[in-house]
Structure 1
């Protein structure tokens, strides 16, 4: 009973948050901004939308191809089409319950390639850690490039320089305390976390030991390059966004990516995050919202199409 309630809440809470964000955004937009959104969808140059979807396919392909290197390192030689289709299905499942796709991906590989669930899931967790590190690199670059804009925004909203300094000092102190507690504390919760993280560390170390580690690392960066390129080419779909600089694109990409984890596939949160960032650079909220929805709707439709198609093809191509 508890498991079913937990599953129900994990599905409905992000969904209601997303719907709430959509309602909030709709209610705060003026009639003129809503009209801008409507016109933007009608007059958008959909060549660039289709181009972004084409680039997205390379991201799906590269993620599946990267997975082969980790599986081969464990001694499992899987068929590429099974790797690709299970990746596509996992993206589809993530639209329902955030991060649940990883479980379904490992389960499908167990079903069609007989790779033990725990080992397949371990390679996926290692992937997520690598992806997180690369994304943090994007975040660092983005904030360095846009430090002046971010600082000015904070100042304009009443955040004093002294407050930022004290916040930085507090962050450093808390980090030092955390490290000391992690090293010396014998609390049960810390010991359990250490035990769980040991497996993740082992998974990361296996990447460095694998035969094709440089290919694995190359595809890891290529995946994120395709994500960024997919976002970048979409700016040319609207004349109002076509001239924004690349560093602004990076910031929009960063906050859009962060928003995806808050709701089901970024429902409501993704367009709001993108619009909020673009508004800092003179793009009206209506245009920014339209731009965010153009990306989100097109990518979501592609995810649904590829996920359903893959789910149908997996049993057909694996008939014995």
Structure 2
């Protein structure tokens, strides 16, 4: 009964579409000409996300005792929070990292409106999210400038 009901649900179709999309994505990687560059950049991006999470431990006294493995744990939780369909991962990212921090003994869980801004379990994901957003904006702007300058030089040369 449950199996039949699940197969008829739109959620089941979405999960199947997601899995099919993953398969297509991995197939496209096999066809790439510069696979090594792709993997290098992919791992570099994730290492930077990890370092941003880990370095933010040193921004608050309550998180100073956390380890690199705690940073990886929070990075994985944060990634799950970001894929939950909310605009920009706001609230879902903060909530899941807050839960993770409380599991690690930092702060308390509060998922209501207007939580205590001094709660380290709420403050930490806010710091990380702001830092990551600022880096994305700054690096994206630099990338756009480089793109415009290189296109301009290319047009002048032609």
Shared fold per TM-score greater than 0.5: yes
| TM-score, normalising length: structure 1 | 0.34
Q: 1:237 to 1:202 in 2, by over 3 A?
A: closer
State the match for 1:265 in structure 2.
Answer: 88
CA RMSD after TM alignment: 3.2
Gaps of 5+ in 1: 1-172, 179-188
* 2:99 aligned to which of 237, 256, 276: 276
* 2:98 counterpart of 1:292: no
* 1:250 aligned to which of 66, 72, 75: 72
**Larger CA deviation: 228-237 vs 298-307:** 298-307
Asked whether the equivalents of residues 94 and 125 of structure 2 are also in contact (C-alpha less than 8 Å), the reply is yes
State the match for 2:151 in structure 1.
Answer: 318
State the match for 1:125 in structure 2.
Answer: none
Distance in 2, matches of 1:271 and 1:265, equals: 11
Q: How many residues in Structure 1 have an aligned counterpart in Structure 2?
A: 129
Give the secondary-structure state (helix, strand or coil) at the position aligned to 2:106.
coil
Distance in 1, matches of 2:100 and 2:73, equals: 7
> Would you identify which runs of 4 or more consecutive aligned residues in structure 1 move more than 6 Å?
none
1:280-301 deviation per Cα after TM superposition (whole angstroms, max 9, x unaligned): 1211131111111111112212
* 1:239 aligned to which of 50, 61, 77: 61
1:31-85 deviation per Cα after TM superposition (whole angstroms, max 9, x unaligned): xxxxxxxxxxxxxxxxxxxxxxxxxxxxxxxxxxxxxxxxxxxxxxxxxxxxxxx
Gaps of 5+ in 2: 8-12, 109-118
Q: 1:200 to 1:235 in 2, by over 3 A?
A: closer
Structure with higher helix content: 1
